Structures are given as structure tokens and as C-alpha cells.
Amino acid sequence: MDYRLYTTCSFEQNEIAAAHSLISLALREDLDSATDLTSALTISPEETACVAINARKNGVLCGLPVAEMVLQAIDASLKIDIKNKDGSLITAGETIAIISGPTRQLLIAERTVLNFMTHLSGIASLTNLFVQEVTGTSAKILDTRKTHPGFRLLEKYAVRCGGGQNHRIGLFDAVLIKDNHLAARKKSHPQESLAQFLQLARTTYPQTTIEVEVDTLEQLQEMIPGEPDIILLDNMSNDLLKQAVKIRNEQNPNILLEASGSVNLQTVRQIAQSGVDRISIGSLTHSAPAFDIGFDWIE
């Protein structure tokens, strides 16, 4: 099948495990160990039907593997014929998949399938808009830890489907020294330089990415001798970002610069044109609007 793929996004084992947990929770919320009272009242158990999942706007598709898992969790006899795949560019009116099986089970599946797919496709589509805005620059679009509890792995998967990249998954897989860490460290180690603090991080976690946050050019210049892998430039103006890039290029071009704070679709291109390597955006996951998808019955 000729999918109009924007990007290839692999659904990994840890993301599958996260989906199983969320699906179990979602179905418990809806059914509470009972049944769909309305469907049981109105529809015979022998009745079958066919449903089309249709896009109602343009965007990037995400969430089909989760939808398949929802159907299997409800009733293994539910069948899905996939017409697109995650990472596909889809247009309004396009059929994403067709589901067939017992009508009662289709009705049980409807809201849970749509909840996952509209949310994840919304993230993928918003990410794609940011990625398109920085086309032609060297900047990459990244997510953050500003995710919904329990949904982090799926939301970060959706970012990849939209063409973005993942920042650290959690507190456990990278060092990110922020202003509060620096303030707390300074209180207990007032004589320690920032470079010494960075060296401690490097010695303690030699195989781990070390990133540090700054919000002034003075702090940037203090951090560069410590040779972090990444310096996060927090809420800097475009003029300051350009100056930061110039300083980095002159003193240590191997350090990556990441811009963050107050990034939106109107500002992201100018930020990218400053020469930074990465732009991290919390709104990709915490504020993406739901993507409009229909669960349309086929006569």
C-alpha cells in the first residue's frame, strides 16, 4: 500500500507496555467490571456492523497500534482493516481504517479508540507544524517532560510520528541541571565553581548526557569550560540566542545549544534561525488540541 508517510515511527516494546496499562485503566473507567448498559438494552448480541474511522481535518496520523490493542482487549473477534499507518499525512475525509464485528463491542470500543487516536494524532500534527516551520534550518524540534501522567511514552511516540525528536524520557536517563539545582548546590557548596559542579556530574555519570540550563550569557560563559554535552538557553531573546551561538562557536563548537521557553508557531522559525541546534517545546504534549476523527457507521 502506498502510504503518504511523513516519517517512520516505530512503536517500541516499552510503549506497547505503557499502552496496555492505559487501555486497562480506560476500560475499567468505562465498564467498571460490568457492561455497556445502553448497548445491552438496545442491541442483540448477534448483531454485527462495520465502522469507518475517518479523518475530519488534515494532519499527521498517530495511535493506530493503540486502537488495535483496544479492540483486542474488548473482543478478539473485532477486525480492523488499516488503510493508513502512523506517521502518515492524512486529509479531511480520508478513511484511516475500517472496523467490523459485533455491534455491542464496537460501541464499547468507540470512545476509548477515539480518545487515544484524537489525542496522539493531535500531538503528531502539532509537532509536524513546528517541524515544518524550521525546515531549512539546522534546528531539531524536541519534546519535554511536560506530559500527562501515565501518557509520557505514548505522547513522546506521537512526537516522533510528527517528525520531532525525544528529549530525555525522565529523571533517570539524563542529567539536566536547572536553576533550582544550581541554587541548592550553591547553598551547600558555596566555594564550588560551576565548572567543578559539571565535572562532578561527568565523573559520576560518565556515560550519561549532561545538560545544564542558563538564562544569561555570563552563565553560558561560565558553563562552557565544564564541557557539558548540551547547554539549555532558557527564555532568551533572539538577539541573545545569536550571541550565545557566536560564543559557543568560538569557544567550544562541540557543545549543543538548546533553546526553550515561550516558543510558539509564530516565534519558532526566528529562534531556529539564530543557529541553535535544538528547540524544546512543552506545548507539543501538554497543549496539543485533539485531532478530529470520526467513528462513522457504514450502511
* pLDDT tens for each residue of 166-217: 999 999 999 999 989 988 998 999 888 888 889 899 999 999 999 999 999 9
pLDDT bracket for residue 68 (50, 70, 90): very high
Whether residue 157 is contained in a domain is answered as yes
Active-site residue 146, yes or no?
yes
Q: Are 280 and 232 found together in one domain?
A: yes
Q: Are 107 and 180 found together in one domain?
A: no
Active-site residue 111, yes or no?
yes
Q: What pLDDT is attached to residue 150?
A: 97
Q: Are 260 and 145 found together in one domain?
A: yes
What is the domain count for the chain? 2
Q: Are 194 and 256 found together in one domain?
A: yes
Helices then strands (H, E): number in the chain? 11, 12
Q: Are 153 and 281 found together in one domain?
A: yes
Q: What pLDDT is attached to residue 262?
A: 86
Q: Which residues of 74-101 are buried (b: 16+ CB within 10 A; e: fewer)?
A: beeebebebbbbbbbbbeeebbbbbbbb
Q: What pLDDT is attached to residue 3?
A: 41
Beta strands in the chain (DSSP E): 48-55, 59-60, 79-82, 89-90, 95-102, 140-142, 175-177, 210-214, 230-234, 256-260, 278-280, 293-297
How far is residue 40's CA from residue 60's CA, in Å, rounded to a whole number? 36
From 211, 213, 258, 277, active-site residue: 213
Active-site residue 178, yes or no?
yes
Q: Are 148 and 275 found together in one domain?
A: yes
Whether residue 274 is contained in a domain is answered as yes
Active-site residue 187, yes or no?
no
Look at residue 4 and tell me whether its pLDDT is greater than 60: no
Q: What pLDDT is attached to residue 6?
A: 56
Q: Taking CA 208 as the corner, what is the angle to CA 243 and CA 16, rounded to the nearest 5 degrees?
A: 110
Least confident of 4-18, 116-130, 145-159, 219-233: 4-18
Q: What pLDDT is attached to residue 135?
A: 97
Look at residue 2 and tell me whether its pLDDT is greater than 60: no
Q: Are 92 and 188 found together in one domain?
A: no
CATH number at residue 36: 3.90.1170.20
Whether residue 1 is contained in a domain is answered as no
Contacts of residue 253, defined as CB under 8 A and 6 or more positions apart, other chains included, come to none
Active-site residue 30, yes or no?
no
Q: What pLDDT is attached to residue 1?
A: 33
Q: Are 39 and 65 found together in one domain?
A: yes
Q: What pLDDT is attached to residue 183?
A: 87
What would the pLDDT profile of 265-293 be if each residue is shown by its tens digit? 999 999 999 999 999 999 999 999 999 99
Q: Are 218 and 82 found together in one domain?
A: no
Q: Hey, what amino acid is at 170?
A: G
From 28, 57, 79, 111, active-site residue: 111
Look at residue 256 and tell me whether its pLDDT is greater than 50: yes
Average model confidence (pLDDT) across the chain: 94
Look at residue 5 and tell me whether its pLDDT is greater than 80: no
Q: What is the mean pLDDT of residues 219-243?
A: 96
CATH number at residue 147: 3.20.20.70
From 146, 202, 242, 269, active-site residue: 146
How far is residue 168's CA from residue 245's CA, in Å, rounded to a whole number? 23
Domain that holds residue 106: 13-132+288-297
Whether residue 6 is contained in a domain is answered as no
- Contact between 120 and 63 under an 8 Å Cβ cutoff? The reply is yes
From 234, 248, 258, 278, active-site residue: 234
How far is residue 129's CA from residue 261's CA, in Å, rounded to a whole number? 18
How far is residue 247's CA from residue 288's CA, in Å, rounded to a whole number? 34
Model's pTM, two decimal places? 0.95
